[in-house]
Amino acid sequence: ALNDAMDQVPGVVVIDNDPQIRAGSGFSYGAGSRVMMLVDDMPILSGDIGRPSWTFLPIENLEQLEVIKGASSVMHGSAALSGVINVRTAYPRSEPRTRATVFAGMYDAPERKGAKWWGDNNPLQGGASFFHSRQFGNFDLVLGGNAFSDAGYIGPEPIPPDSLAKDPYRTAPANYENRIRFNVGTRWRSKRTEGLSYGINANVMKSRSTNVFIWNDVDSGLYRSFPGTVTRTLGTQYTIDPFVVYLSPGGMRHSLKVRYYFQDFENDNAQSNASHFLFGEYQVQQQFDLLGPTTLTAGVVGQRTRSVAELYTGNSEGSDRNTATNAAGYLQLDKKLLRDRLALSAGVRYERFQVNEDEQARPVVRAGATYRVLEGTFLRGSYGQGFRFPTIGERFITTGIGQLNIYPNPDLRPEESWNLEAGVKQGFRIRDFTGYIDAVVFRQEFSDYVEFTFGQWGDPSDLDNLLGLGFRSVNTGGARVTGYELELAGRGNAGGVVWSALLGWTHTLPVSTTPDQVYATPTFPNSIWPASTYANTSYDPSDNILKFRVQDLFRGDLQGERGRWMAGVSVRYNSHVRNIDRAFVDLDESGLLPTGVG
């Protein structure tokens, strides 16, 4: 899946399928991504909970992967709080192309012998994919598909030998995944109207999988699920994307893009959910000369999500039906001056968002400049604002996993941020090897930061629900991320081999700016649980480091190609996560959740 490739991008780390860019987010338990995910410039995050589905992306037709780091809400709206990942698919070229791939693998036994839960046969994984594209006159056609099966390395919950359980042979569900996906892309280039093209793309996937929310412990159950925390899922997903593009004789470009995204996940444990997401964007762009090359881009965006889910019943009516509506308009101006040595960019966006009856609206702005000092030497700086409206899931989720409960928070407020960045980029050429070195410093400030927080949100006298203890999304005050990033990339020919290299180091300092602020209190008056602050909910509050942050990242990739042969080596380093939820250690030491982390 693409999330494995994303782990090679400098400054990016994927934790439990949730992308982080420059430590802008932590572990969100699959809800409310702060990184906007796009396919061909249209959102692909789930409409109900803002979760990326990496396996649904049509990577067999990948043309380009674009990563924008920093607040990018002006062009991409809510969720682009820390950045954007855009998967751009390819159109056919003049020559037909066909590609097929088959692969297989096996999980090795863990070094700790007691942690091996399987017998003599190691778990296997394997799959296949295909891609075909060609032109038929003015008609373009792309076909692709993927099939994958993974037995997984996380086993079922341990069952004592003397247990009278129904499953004495330990055949309960563990961590597995099976899926099959097909996609098609079409485009007609009009013969009657020059500059007009239109088409429709589609992608569909069926899957059968499990998700392990909590592993059992760090000893013999290191690769086993904690009792009651395995969720089995049957999934159906598809997108339908019609589009029209027209380039007028005067050079004005009009584009209309629409996406319908359907998801239906039949889960056990009363966690089934389905959502219908409809997105539409009309954009007009005009290039002209106004004291230098100038590009004006304007657009309007509308989207609506309709959710039907057992998971999301925490609204005022206790209903399993929720809606989210979004409408926005944006304007951006890009201009070049001083014989194209100076490039300026500025933009503004106004967005209105409504979840059920709650309505919010925000304006955001951005500005940036790039100056070419010498041939191959560029200085740049930018300022951008970001925001993220809480999803349906974050506000209204009501569920339990094992002994832990997750509680709703209908009063959750939007997050906001601003980002400053300055950098220098130097191109170079050494014989047949060309590349660049890039250095950047950055700072991002957050307010009303949203995090899953452990507390006593339920009835403290309810013994069946762990005395009301569990997790809930809350606004935790302010946060700041500062840091720097160094990157080297290049490509060249040596000894008849085409070499490509990508190296990057990212250091961040993600801190809470309000460590002692009380941001949440128990919901029941007879609770003895303390009010929540950053300090008393953190395992290691020293230096005010945010939870689940990887502060130092190194990415290295070297690849050589000769004819049909290709070989490479990659290195990834993630520093130790210093701070996690203190609740996990407290629950372990109390015996309520004996994981062994304490």
Q: Tell me the pLDDT tens digit for each residue of 112-149.
A: 877 888 888 899 999 999 999 999 999 999 999 999 99
Query: Residue 462: what pLDDT?
Result: 81
- Evaluate if residue 384 carries a pLDDT over 70: yes
Mean pLDDT of the chain: 90
Q: How far is CA 193 from CA 168, 189, 197, 287, 546, in A?
A: 70, 9, 9, 21, 56
**Contact partners, residue 164, CB within 8 Å, separation at least 6:** none
Q: Rounded to an integer, what distance in angstroms lies between the CA atom of residue 50 and that of residue 468?
A: 27
Task: Provide the edge-to-edge strand list for the sheet that holds 404-407.
Answer: 399-401, 404-407, 469-475, 450-456
170: how many CB neighbours lie within 10 A of its CB?
16
Q: Rounded to an integer, what distance in angstroms lies between the CA atom of residue 228 and that of residue 24?
A: 32
Query: Residue 160: what pLDDT?
Result: 62
Query: Residue 222: what pLDDT?
Result: 81
- Evaluate if residue 46 carries a pLDDT over 50: yes
Maximum distance among all Cα pairs of the chain, rounded to whole angstroms:
84
Query: Residue 261: what pLDDT?
Result: 98
Task: Note whether 516 and 533 are within 8 A (CB).
Answer: yes
Mean pLDDT within 330-356: 94
Query: Residue 446: what pLDDT?
Result: 95
Query: Residue 469: what pLDDT?
Result: 86
Higher pLDDT, 102 or 119: 102
Per residue in 415-431, pLDDT (tens digit) is 999 999 999 999 999 98
Per residue in 430-459, pLDDT (tens digit) is 989 999 999 999 999 999 999 988 888 888
CA nearest neighbour of 158 among 86, 230, 90, 262: 230
Q: What percent of the chain has pLDDT above 90?
A: 66
Q: What DSSP string describes 479-508?
A: EEEEEEEEEEEEEEEETTEEEEEEEEEEEE
Per residue in 172-186, pLDDT (tens digit) is 567 899 999 999 999
The pLDDT confidence band at residue 169, using thresholds 50, 70 and 90, is very low
Task: Note whether 290 and 335 are within 8 A (CB).
Answer: yes
Q: Residue 37 pairs with which residues in a beta bridge?
A: 85
Task: Note whether 26 and 549 are within 8 A (CB).
Answer: yes
**Contact partners, residue 342, CB within 8 Å, separation at least 6:** 336, 369, 370, 371, 372
Tokens for 317, please give them.
Answer: 């009516």
- Evaluate if residue 313 carries a pLDDT over 80: yes
CA nearest neighbour of 115 among 255, 191, 224: 224
Query: Residue 17: what pLDDT?
Result: 83
The pLDDT confidence band at residue 167, using thresholds 50, 70 and 90, is low
Mean pLDDT within 178-198: 96
Query: Residue 226: what pLDDT?
Result: 78
Q: How far is CA 502 from CA 3, 20, 21, 186, 488, in A?
A: 17, 19, 17, 34, 6
CA 182 to chain centre: 22
Q: Rounded to an integer, what distance in angstroms lies between the CA atom of residue 219 and that of residue 198?
A: 58
Task: Note whether 386 and 396 are within 8 A (CB).
Answer: no
- Evaluate if residue 161 carries a pLDDT over 70: no
Structural domains of the chain, ranges and CATH numbers in brackets:
2-90+248-590 (2.40.170), 124-245 (no CATH)
Q: Which amino acid is at 400?
A: G
Query: Residue 508: what pLDDT?
Result: 97
